[in-house]
Structure 1
Amino acid sequence: MGGPMAANLLGSGYVVKAWNRSAAAVDNFVALGGSRVESVADLRDETVIIFMLPDLSFIEDASEGLLSAWRQVPPAPGTLLVVMSSVSPVAVKAFGRFVTQASDGNATVVDAPVSGGSEGAQRANLAIMVGSSQEDFARLLPVFEAMGTTIRRLGELGAGSLAKACNQLVVGTTTAALAEAAELGERSGLDVNALFEVLSGGLASSRVLEFVGPRLAAKDYVPTGPAKFMHKDLSFVLESADASGAAVPIASAGVELYAELIRQGLGDLDLAVVRQAIANLGTTVA
């Protein structure tokens, strides 16, 4: 998703420098008019640095050289390091403290995870959930508007990631419920497409049904995003629930279901493959 997001920033007139773990992935971006850097440390003098990597551990590894450079020569005051990945609300706060310390107080971490998938990234209509100060949010709002349409500040650092965890709780468990309905319906003699058409006309209608439903019905598991990431995201729900004392029984069931999906070797396929994971748990009726 980082590629089209960066391209939309270019299209809005921003000067964008890019780094990726796989250098070849930057080629298309350079062809669009962006520029390439050899390492994240080469961005040491930039005042806004955006990360879009699979998890916080990847961001921590990628930023080691950058933070080492900042320990030698602190960045400009007000430098913002923006985490747009789906990460732990608890861990991103610790990362924020670490970055502030390493930069002699000159750099601040903002978490701004997104929802909308690769299609939303391409169309620049992502939902962006922000955890930051009001001042930092105001500075970054034009940048976010180049990538998304629904942009909200939810609170201080960590609030954006908590909102994304709640988003994934709804998306992950709704997809699983639709997959379960598809399996139950088909095994009982219903046409899944007809079933979903009826569901879409009633209270069960949702954006999840609209976008994932056709793939569930067709058993189309070509990845638009690896299903294994849902296990990670739902684990963040449990972590946040432990910290707040909230009960999350549906999230707990979802974590176990997506763990089972990974155990079945389906984690690299599309989220809709949760239907296959559920089918594999079923029994054959004579």
Structure 2
Amino acid sequence: MSVRIGFLGLGIMGTAMARNCRKAGHDVMVWNRSPKAAQALAGEGARVAATPAEAAAFGQVVVVMLTGPEACEAVLFGPDGAAGSLGPGQTVVNMSTIPPAFAREAAQKVRATGADYVDAPVSGSKKPAEDGTLVILAGGREATIAAVEPVLLAMGKKVARCGEAGMGSTMKITVNVLLGAMAEGLAETVLLGESLGLDRKALLDVIMAGPMANDLFRLKDPMFRADDYPPQFPAKHMAKDLRFAAEAASQAGANAPTLAVLNTLYARLLDRGLGEADFAAVIKAL
């Protein structure tokens, strides 16, 4: 069944996700702050909105895929924002990575319009977004998640139910701590091996042939071999997610020593001008 979707935000991830919604047969109206990405999708059959409010008025489901809480606040609740067009029967699906507290606040504001809200960030980067194999971390009312699941499965392979709104974001920042630690661990191992006289490619061959090999390492292996880090998940976004995780850990009184180290390293990476590189470029911060 075709669903009318208003899609807000067409970055590395959003463009691929909106394209997959179109491929699944949904009627998609897109909006992006810079119009070039929207025009590219228009050539593939998407409608283009002039404002977030116009896209929201069109959509039975309004998907938001933006860089963080500031952008979400402006696009949802600012001038010409989506919230002004929302009402009963609509659902906002916020797939941006945002702090859990912001997700809970946004849910309250959206629900005050009569619409509902699902907090649904994703686990996965550029290639899974292109392939439609993201894991979607959904927080919200069970009936609402079930209602929007056909749209979510146009973009992902699995919808993980995490609890109420805000818990999807909690799940995302928690698993991204592990993601950052895995990339840093591989990077540190490569540099240690080289400092001890091992050939980088020989070391990576051993890692990839043994029990330590995993999907993430296989994805990043060519980057470490070439010492080149084209963005699949930019380091600036990893740094942001780790910052959100550290804030949440502090508020909860949780002990997270590795998270503190990761925050220092990714902040250093941004200071060195590598925020646009893939997060595997953390090797340059060591």
Normalised by the length of structure 1, the TM-score is: 0.90
> What amino acid sits opposite 2:166 in the alignment?
G
CA distance in 1, matches of 2:175, 2:201: 26
Alignment pair present for 1:225 and 2:233: yes
Alignment pair present for 1:93 and 2:104: yes
Which shows bigger deviation, 87-96 or 49-58?
87-96
Q: Which residue of 2 aligns with 1:66?
A: 81
Q: Which residue of 2 aligns with 1:284?
A: none
The within-5 A match list for 1:24-63 is 24-45=36-57, 46-63=59-76
> What amino acid sits opposite 1:20 in the alignment?
N
Residue aligned with 2:229, SS: coil
Pair 1:256–1:32, CA change in 2 (3 A):
same
The runs of 4+ residues in structure 1 deviating greater than 4 Å are: none
Alignment RMSD (CA, Å): 1.6
Shift in Å at residue 111 of structure 1?
Answer: 1.1
Q: Which residue of 1 aligns with 2:126?
A: 118
The within-5 A match list for 1:1-286 is 1-45=13-57, 46-63=59-76, 64=78, 65-66=80-81, 69-70=84-85, 75-101=86-112, 103=113, 106-278=114-286
> What amino acid sits opposite 1:81 in the alignment?
V
CA distance in 1, matches of 2:37, 2:269: 28
CA distance in 2, matches of 1:44, 1:267: 31
Q: Is the 8 A contact 1:115 1:128 kept in 2?
A: yes
Q: Is the 8 A contact 1:47 1:76 kept in 2?
A: no
Q: Deviations over 1:65-100 (max 9, x none)?
A: 235634xxxx33132111111111122111222233
CA distance in 1, matches of 2:173, 2:61: 24
Residue aligned with 2:159, SS: strand
Q: Is the 8 A contact 2:31 2:55 kept in 1?
A: no
CA distance in 2, matches of 1:38, 1:84: 21
Pair 1:141–1:170, CA change in 2 (3 A):
same
Normalised by the length of structure 2, the TM-score is: 0.90
CA distance in 1, matches of 2:106, 2:71: 12
Q: Is the 8 A contact 1:178 1:213 kept in 2?
A: no
CA distance in 2, matches of 1:229, 1:67: 24
The answer for unaligned runs of 5 or more in structure 1 is 279-286
CA distance in 2, matches of 1:268, 1:15: 32
Pair 1:53–1:68, CA change in 2 (3 A):
closer
CA distance in 1, matches of 2:204, 2:170: 30
Q: Deviations over 1:198-240 (max 9, x none)?
A: 2233342222211112212321122233211111101121122
Pair 1:266–1:18, CA change in 2 (3 A):
same
CA distance in 2, matches of 1:148, 1:128: 6
Shift in Å at residue 270 of structure 1?
Answer: 1.7
Q: Which residue of 2 aligns with 1:281?
A: none
Which structure would you say has the larger Rg?
1
> What amino acid sits opposite 2:27 in the alignment?
V
CA distance in 1, matches of 2:167, 2:98: 11
Pair 1:118–1:191, CA change in 2 (3 A):
same
Q: State the aligned residue count.
A: 271
Residue aligned with 1:16, SS: strand
The answer for unaligned runs of 5 or more in structure 2 is 1-12
CA distance in 1, matches of 2:275, 2:83: 35
Residue aligned with 2:118, SS: strand
Percentage of identical aligned residues: 34
Pair 1:35–1:67, CA change in 2 (3 A):
closer
CA distance in 2, matches of 1:192, 1:172: 21
CA distance in 2, matches of 1:118, 1:218: 19
CA distance in 2, matches of 1:89, 1:260: 25
